[in-house]
């Protein structure tokens, strides 16, 4: 048995103006594009079904609308009860994904055109104010998102025409420092993943080809640099037996504060004269492999220091404490 229900339909002027406003809301028209936008709106409005009354009819194949004259809308958008519906070439109301003039739209199970965020089959989609499925990069509520050609929202890393970008689980594009997979990356204000040397907040960092922040010793441009645990390039300080200058470059073949460094940058420990070695006294802890010439913080922790001559300590294979160097 047929199931019928009656609905009131808008008059032509109201129908056309309402739908035109819905479509216009999804565009940002500059003066240069105003004519093009208007022509699209007029074209869509003219394709509308103009119905002043009719009856919904349900059959095995689905729903359709019977106009007062017995005809029915085909290949048209129809406004009913303040909702927009699409009817195919045979006159049946469409549901699910609908492609019209090369553009995808989504109609609910009840047939009404959907807008805004929709989660379908576990994936998120965004439908503009006119119902058009969005693709590519889109700014929504002051956040940037990226949608595949299928319309599905992207999360995680995404390679785009200008480089790599990272999108959170919510789909929002990230900027600034981001820790991903246990590694740090830096994303510019535009979202582009940065590589190579970057000065950020007055500090230099190095991001390798994959974008991951580098730490420790780095050879770049034939020169050595040292980046601490936070990735910051170090300057004007000793790194163990090596010294990095004001430009961060490891010093070679020079003297720093009275300490000579060789061609490999390592501090060359000077050999003292035999008389000095015999008279200079040092301390060490039992079982330790280093000796102390000063009361450094390490030496201060020794409970029962052993005192011997410098030559004796060196003959025992002990080396100078780095804190005493």
Contact status, residue 321 vs residue 291, Cβ threshold 8 Å: yes
Q: For residues 191 and 168, what is the distance between their CA atoms, to the nearest angstrom?
A: 12
Tokens of residue 284, six digits: 């060490």
Determine the pLDDT at residue 2: 38
Q: Once rounded to an integer, what is the mean pLDDT over residues 90-110?
A: 96
Q: What is the DSSP string of 63-113?
A: EEEE-TTS----SEEEEETTEEEEE-TTSPBP-EEEEETTEEEEE-TT-PB
Contact status, residue 85 vs residue 107, Cβ threshold 8 Å: yes
Percent pLDDT > 90 in the chain is 59
Question: Rounded to 5 degrees, what are φ and ψ at 242?
Answer: -125, 155
Tokens of residue 278, six digits: 């015999």
Determine the pLDDT at residue 271: 57
The burial of 87, by beta-carbon neighbours within 10 Å (0-12 exposed, 13-18 middle, 19 or more buried), is given as buried
Q: What is the pLDDT of residues 128-183, one digit of tens each?
A: 999 999 999 999 999 999 999 999 999 999 999 999 999 999 999 999 999 999 99
Q: Which residues contact 128 (CB under 8 A, 6 or more apart)?
A: 26, 115, 134
Whose CA is closest to 160, among 139, 124, 136? 136
Reported as a pLDDT band with limits 50, 70 and 90, residue 107 is very high
Highest mean pLDDT: which range of 9-18, 216-225, 260-269, 273-282: 216-225
Determine the pLDDT at residue 300: 76
Which residues pair with residue 218 across a beta bridge?
Answer: 225
Determine the pLDDT at residue 5: 39
pTM of the predicted model, to two decimals?
A: 0.68
Determine the pLDDT at residue 302: 85
183 against 35, higher pLDDT: 183
């Amino acid at each position: 048995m047929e199931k019928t229900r009656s609905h009131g339909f808008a008059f032509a002027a109201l129908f056309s103006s309402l739908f035109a406003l819905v479509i216009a809301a999804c565009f940002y028209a500059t003066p240069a594009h105003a004519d093009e936008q208007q022509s699209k709106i007029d074209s869509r409005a003219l394709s509308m079904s103009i119905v002043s009354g009719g009856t919904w009819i349900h059959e095995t194949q689905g729903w359709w609308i019977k106009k007062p004259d017995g005809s029915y809308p085909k290949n048209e958008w129809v406004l009913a009860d303040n909702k927009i519906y699409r009817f195919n070439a045979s006159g049946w109301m469409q549901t699910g994904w609908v492609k019209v003039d090369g553009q995808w739209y989504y109609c609910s199970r009840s047939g009404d055109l959907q807008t805004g965020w929709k989660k379908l089959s576990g994936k998120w989609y965004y439908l503009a104010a006119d119902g058009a499925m969005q693709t590519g990069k889109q700014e929504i509520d002051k956040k940037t998102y990226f949608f595949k050609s299928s319309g599905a929202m992207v999360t995680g890393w995404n390679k785009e025409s200008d480089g790599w970008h990272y999108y959170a689980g919510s789909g929002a594009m990230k900027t600034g420092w981001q820790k991903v997979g246990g590694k740090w990356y830096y994303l510019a204000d535009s979202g582009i993943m940065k590589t190579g040397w970057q000065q950020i907040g007055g500090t230099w960092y190095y991001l390798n080809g994959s974008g991951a922040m580098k730490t420790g010793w780095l050879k770049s441009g034939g020169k050595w640099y040292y980046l601490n645990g936070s990735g910051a390039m170090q300057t004007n300080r000793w790194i163990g037996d090596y010294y990095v200058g004001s430009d961060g470059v490891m010093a070679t073949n020079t003297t720093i504060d009275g300490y000579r460094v060789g061609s490999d940058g390592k501090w060359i420990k000077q050999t003292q004269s035999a008389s000095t070695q015999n008279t200079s006294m040092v301390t060490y802890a039992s079982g330790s492999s280093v000796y102390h010439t000063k009361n450094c913080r390490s030496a201060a922790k020794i409970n029962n220091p052993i005192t011997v001559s410098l030559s004796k300590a060196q003959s025992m294979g002990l080396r100078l404490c780095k804190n005493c160097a």
